[in-house]
Structure 1
C-alpha cells in the first residue's frame, strides 16, 4: 500500500505546497497515522481517501502553526526566548526519562541496519527523504518505508512504556 499511493500523494501535495521535501514529510506523517490506526486494529475501508484527508489536515495544521509562530515572533516572543524543556527534573522524573531514552535507543538499534540508517538520517540528522535516498543509493519510496517502520517501532515502544509508567497530568 505504501508504494501504491505514495507518488500520487507526493505529487499532489508537492504542487500544493510548492515544496517537495515538505510534501514528502507530510505524506509520510499521513502514512504513519494510517498505519498506526491499522496497527491498533482499526479497519480502514478507504485508505486512499483517508491518506488524502489526513495529509490535507496536516497541511492546514502546518499553515496555522506557521501563522502563530510568525505572529509570536512579531510580538517579540521569539522561540529562542522560550524554554525548550523544564530546567529541573525531580529524581523520579529523571529516572523515567532515562529509562524511556534507553528503551527508544534499544528499539532503534534493533531495526534492520538499512532501516535504522534511513530513520536516523531523516529523524535525527534532519536529512530530507531525497537526501537520504541519494546518500544511501535507494529510492525515496524505500526511504519512506524505512522511516515509517522506525516511527512505528518507536511509537509501539512509547505506548508500551506509557502503559508501564503512566505519566500523571500534573507532570509535563
Structure 2
C-alpha cells in the first residue's frame, strides 16, 4: 500500500470520530474541523503515522494537544478582552481621560490580538506559552517537539512581527 493510500485510509477510518470528539471538546464545528485538519498535517510531517504503533491513539493525542493550544489562545484572548473591559470602565469613571484615548487603546489591543493570532502556529504557540503561561524555553521545546534553539527563533520572530505593529 502506498503512503498516500495508507494515510487516506487512516483519514477515512477516523475522520468522523476525530471531528465528533473535537466538536464535543471545543463546541464549534469550524474549530473542530481546523483542529482535525492540522492533526492530519502533523501526522504526515515526518511520517509520524508510519512510526506509530497505534495510529488512532496518535491522532487523538495530536488533536488533543492542538485543542489544548486552541483553548489557551482563547483564554489569552478573553483575558485581553476582560482587561480591556475593566480598563474601559476604570478610565470612563475617572475624570480627565479622553474617550478617544480609550478607543485608540482598544483598537491597538485589537490589532495586537489579531497579530498574535496571525503568527504561524508554532511561533504563536511558543509566544503564548512563554509570555502568558510563563513556561521555560525547555518546556516549550519539549511540548512542541523542537529544539530550544528553535523556540528562541520562534520567539524572536514573534517579537519582530509584533514590534512591526508598533511601527504602523
TM-score relative to the length of structure 1: 0.43
Looking at both structures, which has the greater relative contact order when contacts are Cα pairs under 8 Å and sequence separation is at least 6? 1
Q: Identify the structure with the greater helix proportion.
A: 2
Q: Which structure has the larger Rg over C-alpha atoms?
A: 2
